[in-house]
Amino acid sequence: MTLSPIKPFVPSGADFALARQFFLDLGFSVNWENGGCCELQSGNAMFILQEFQNREMQENLMLAVRVDDLDAWWQHLCDSGVLERYPGVRATEPKVFPWGNREVHLLDPAGVCWHFI
């Protein structure tokens, strides 16, 4: 039996439209949209952005995404302008963590922590 990639439902936080635009500005595209959900994709990475707010969940949800070139992703992130345009959004420069991965951490507008590896 072979498993397919996991496609998580990610909460948008209080403002679904703002979260959707944030991911579009990062370079994701919308595959489909229906009401308070849309499937977003960049390369092979896909998730469903859900119009849902639960601060405790959002601030404890972490997602890991592998990128081909972490330094290029960091530059793309900086060049996209999302770090300046979106309230609460912040990121760490590429660094090696105690568990051995070199990563960029990005907090999205809802407070979800994305680990780009």
Domain-located, residue 89: yes
Other Cβ atoms closer than 10 A to 90:
10
* Confidence band of 68 (pLDDT split at 50, 70, 90): very high
Query: Is 4 inside a domain boundary?
Result: no
What was the pLDDT predicted at 5?
Answer: 87
CATH number at residue 17: 3.10.180.10
List, for residues 18-46, the tens digit of each pLDDT value: 999 999 999 999 999 999 999 999 999 99
Its domain, for residue 45, covers 9-116
Tally of domains within the chain: 1
Q: Is the pLDDT of residue 99 over 90?
A: yes
Is 25 a member of any domain? yes
d(CA 9, CA 5): 13
Taking alpha carbons only, the member of 35, 36, 11 closest to residue 109 is: 11
Does some domain include residue 105? yes
* In a domain? residue 65: yes
Q: 16 lies in a domain? A: yes
Strands of 1-117 (E only): list them: 9-11, 29-34, 37-42, 45-50, 62-65, 90-91, 95-96, 102-107, 113-116
